[in-house]
Structure 1
Amino acid sequence: MTEQTTELTFLKSSRKRRIVAFLIDHSVMSFLIVSIVFTALGSNFMDENNPVKMVTTMFFVMVPGLILYFAKDSFKGISPGKWVMGIMVRDDNNQNEIPSFGRLYLRNLFLIIWPVEFIVLATSDQKKRLGDKVTKTIVVKNPNKPKQLPRILALVTLGVIFFVFVFLFAGNAMKNSDAYKVSINEIEKNEEIITETGGIKGYGMMPTGNISISNGKGQAQFEIKVLGNTKDLNINLYLEKEPNGQWRLIEMQK
């Protein structure tokens, strides 16, 4: 009796699914790389006066990050974005076969020229981009994709984690900066603010504003919520610093 091998027939993925999957992958991978870079730089990176050190740190962190980025489809031809969208990469000649790691990696290297890849994908009758054509791969619908709810929940969770990280890290970095510390010191020396608030008991959880340092020269703007015993105030401050100098208050308004 002859033994037969059952082969599945796959349907090509739509361009829309592929584009959404790419955007999800790009967001996830960029978030991972940025998170690692910020963690490596530390929360006081805003006061860093050694640009060479910063660039070197970013380089040694981003190189492995980019390697990971281009290897995103290496697990069964399915990246995070493709998992969410229910699609996967397969060999064009045998769609039951998963392409090798090398072919999947080479395929994604073409994303360096992503504008060209998008144009080719949008105009190709075969719904292929250059990376697919060179490595002889095809993107198809995953017949064993998870149910829709887990995929939606995973996407929402990633979004929440991203915004929480950005909010907490940016706020923490700002609070650890010398410019913010000088601002707090100036607020606590201001008799008018102390009188109007009935005494300062604390500050808002996260300040808003920005810090800019170029060639040692810096500018900073903050809006800090001062919590008082009788009244809260929002204080706007503008500071400057000269190369190798200290931050100094230029203007403070309620």
Structure 2
Amino acid sequence: MTEQTTELIFLKSSRKRRIAAFVIDHFVMTFLMVAIVFIALGPNFIDENNPSKMMTIMLFVMIPGFILYFAKDFIKGISIGKWIMGIMVRDENDHNEIPAFGRLFLRNLMIIIWPVEFVVLATNNKKKRLGDKIAKTVVVKSPNKPTKLPRVLALIGFGIVFFAFVFFFAGSAMKNSDAYKVAISEIEMNEEILSETGGIKGYGMMPAGSVSISNGKGQALLEIKVLGNKKDLNVSVYLEKESNEFWKLIEMQK
């Protein structure tokens, strides 16, 4: 009896798949780094006027983050984006061979000049970018890629996590700010709002608007939903603060 082996056939990835994989990778890796920075800063970071602390935290997160970014294909030549798009990195001369870690890292290091990489990929007839030429790699379709459903669910899952983080963390940070607390205090002392709502029973989950502080001076424009016993109101509050002073109400509209 003779043993038969099945030879895998590797087809080059399309440019569209590669670009989509890059966008997904960039989104996921950037989101992770930014999320870790904000978590490290804590929910009270809006009121902290400490640039050195912020810079230190960013360096401690960004440096290993960028190293991980450039090493994103180290698991069998496949990153998150490539897994979702069903493609992988292989040696240009032997598509069964996974390039060594150093070659994969060097290949991705060229993403620093991504506009040049995009032009090279778009114009190269072998569908290679500059990183592929230097590392002598090629991107091919995975012959053993998983079915479409888990890949689509993974993409949807990342989107849900992103929007949930932005919603809850941004809302928590805004509600923990001194500007928001002063705005709520002013709203609760406003007789017109108390009368129109029939008494305040709560506030919306996440205020809209912005709070900015520079050199101790600040401006805040908040859109707060006031939940009343008789009627709900959307109240706009504009506040300012001078250096080493408390927030002051400038204008309130409903």
Whichever residue aligns with residue 30 of structure 2, its letter is S
Query: Do residues 41 (structure 1) and 41 (structure 2) align?
Result: yes
Which blocks of at least 5 consecutive residues in structure 2 are unaligned?
none
Runs of at least 4 residues off by over 3 Å: 1-7
Matches within 5 A, 1:113-152: 113-152=113-152
Q: Please tell me whether the aligned partners of residues 199 and 228 of structure 1 are also in contact (alpha carbons under 8 angstroms).
A: yes
Query: Matched residue of 2:54: which SS?
Result: helix
Separation (CA, whole Å) in 1 of partners of 2:43 and 2:68: 24
- CA displacement, residues 209-250 of structure 1 (integer Å, 9 cap, x when unaligned): 011112221110011111111111111000011122211110
Separation (CA, whole Å) in 2 of partners of 1:236 and 1:120: 50
Aligned to 1:239: 239
Q: Please tell me whether the aligned partners of residues 218 and 240 of structure 1 are also in contact (alpha carbons under 8 angstroms).
A: yes
Q: 1:157 to 1:94 in 2, by over 3 A?
A: same
Q: Please tell me whether the aligned partners of residues 7 and 96 of structure 1 are also in contact (alpha carbons under 8 angstroms).
A: no
Q: 1:245 to 1:6 in 2, by over 3 A?
A: same
Matches within 5 A, 1:140-219: 140-219=140-219
Separation (CA, whole Å) in 2 of partners of 1:134 and 1:108: 10
Structure 1-normalised TM-score? 0.96
Separation (CA, whole Å) in 2 of partners of 1:226 and 1:174: 16
> How far off its partner does 1:10 sit?
0.8
Whichever residue aligns with residue 19 of structure 1, its letter is I
Structure 2-normalised TM-score? 0.96
Q: Please tell me whether the aligned partners of residues 182 and 247 of structure 1 are also in contact (alpha carbons under 8 angstroms).
A: yes
> How far off its partner does 1:187 sit?
0.7
Separation (CA, whole Å) in 2 of partners of 1:109 and 1:7: 32
Query: Matched residue of 2:131: which SS?
Result: helix
Aligned to 1:31: 31
Separation (CA, whole Å) in 2 of partners of 1:204 and 1:85: 39
Separation (CA, whole Å) in 2 of partners of 1:185 and 1:9: 68
Figure out how many residues of one structure are paired with residues of the other and give that number: 254
In percent, how many aligned pairs have the same letter?
A: 75
> How far off its partner does 1:8 sit?
2.5
Q: 1:3 to 1:147 in 2, by over 3 A?
A: closer
Separation (CA, whole Å) in 2 of partners of 1:85 and 1:58: 31
Separation (CA, whole Å) in 2 of partners of 1:2 and 1:107: 41
Separation (CA, whole Å) in 1 of partners of 2:67 and 2:217: 35
Whichever residue aligns with residue 27 of structure 2, its letter is S
> How far off its partner does 1:9 sit?
2.8
Which blocks of at least 5 consecutive residues in structure 1 are unaligned?
none
- CA displacement, residues 101-140 of structure 1 (integer Å, 9 cap, x when unaligned): 1111111010011000000000101100010000000000
Separation (CA, whole Å) in 2 of partners of 1:32 and 1:140: 27
Aligned to 1:110: 110
Instruction: Give RMSD over aligned pairs.
Output: 1.5
Query: Do residues 67 (structure 1) and 104 (structure 2) align?
Result: no
Separation (CA, whole Å) in 2 of partners of 1:93 and 1:2: 29
